[in-house]
Amino acid sequence: MRLCLFLCRTIAAVAIFASPFPSNAAKSELTFVPLPLESAEKTIATWRPIIDYLNAELPFKISILYIDKYKEIQKAHSEGKIDLALYGPLPYVEVRTRAPHLEPFLVFHDASGSSTYRCALLAQSKETWEYLRKGKMPLRVALTQPQSTCGFLSTDYLLQQEGQTLRHAKYRYLGRHDAVGEAVVGGEFPLGGLTEAFGKRYETLGAIVVKTTDPIPGFALVANTKTVVREQIESIQTTIMNAPSPIRERWGNYRFGASLITDDHYENFRKLVRLVLSSGEIPQENND
């Protein structure tokens, strides 16, 4: 496992991965893993002000661990080697089926104040999209990761609406949303699947968002209830939701507020998952 470790205070990695599922006593330090949407440096820079604020306000500490593969995050979280993680809907729904002790408890809002977001198709240009949707050029698609909500799952769902499918196309997993955007803008791929928010960043460089999904649950904090006690979960909820605006201004894309979420909020999204998976499991390897 390739891990890039950034801790709010220096501790040995072995301490993090030792003794999964301790007693029900509250831990003095929790380990949090954010979504690998960008590089380790950018991701940690985004989350550090949030974690610093929580550490100043809470009676326990939270440290940040960066893991660049969704599967590794899911495995470590379900096994109790990490305590808190940020998930998109697909990786959460996947891991929940085998780890019901993982519980979503807080969802972040977008700039409009919504607790949902959309996945999107980003085309190199409007003309390129017209050629692709009419079958006049080969369909090659840049994707994030197999377990990414806006990866194969949502991209195939959107292509099916145009009478096409990723299962008959060439695709490559590039890992991160920014890598997908850069590959489309750079001409490496004519089409990419990513979040709408990331896609809009690349419209200033000539690319265009051509399709989006309906709203799906936003990025949510999920706790391992075998290693995090209820009082700690509630403290994190309250502290983030009540953070003053001047504090939140330094929280990047997570500055727009947050609200409570439960597993019940994912029922409609599970229908989308079942629709796409009715044609087969999500491929784990590139075919391009």
Last residue of a domain, one of 172, 191, 213: 213
Question: pLDDT-derived band of residue 25, with 50, 70 and 90 as boundaries?
Answer: confident
- Residues 135-149 have pLDDT tens digits of 899 999 999 999 999
Stated pTM of the model? 0.79
Domain count, the chain: 2
Minimal CA–CA distance to 17: which of 78, 76, 97? 76
Residue 274 in any domain: the answer is no
Residue 95 included in any domain: yes
Same-domain status, 200 and 184: yes
DSSP H stretches of helix in the chain: 13-17, 40-57, 70-78, 89-98, 126-133, 154-160, 177-185, 196-201, 230-241, 245-248, 267-277
206 and 124 inside one domain: yes
Give the whole-angstrom CA distance, residue 65 versus residue 6: 6
Q: Which of 12-21, 67-76, 124-133, 182-191 has the lowest mean pLDDT?
A: 12-21
Rounded Cα gap, residues 265 and 66, in angstroms: 27
Mean pLDDT, range 248-252, rounded to an integer: 96
Same structural domain for residues 64 and 186?
Answer: no
pLDDT value of residue 37 = 86
pLDDT score for 24: 60
Is 7 among the domain residues?
Answer: no
222 and 107 within one domain: yes
- Do 163 and 49 lie in one domain? The reply is no
Residue 152 DSSP symbol: I
How much is the average pLDDT of 197-205? 95
More confidently predicted of 18 and 255? 255
For the chain, what is the mean pLDDT?
91
For residue 288, being part of any structural domain is answered with no
Residue 196: CATH number of its domain: 3.40.190.10
Contacts of 238 (CB under 8 A, 6+ apart): none
Note whether 54 and 62 are within 8 A (CB). yes
Could you tell me if 124 and 158 lie in one domain? yes
* Within a domain: 239: yes
Among 178, 213, 248, the domain-final residue is: 213
pLDDT above 80 for 4: no
Domain assignment of residue 10, yes or no = no
Quote the domain boundaries for residue 145.
119-213
User: 114-173, pLDDT tens digit by residue?
Assistant: 999 999 999 999 999 999 998 899 999 999 999 999 999 999 999 999 999 999 999 999
φ, ψ for residue 29, nearest 5 deg: -145, 130
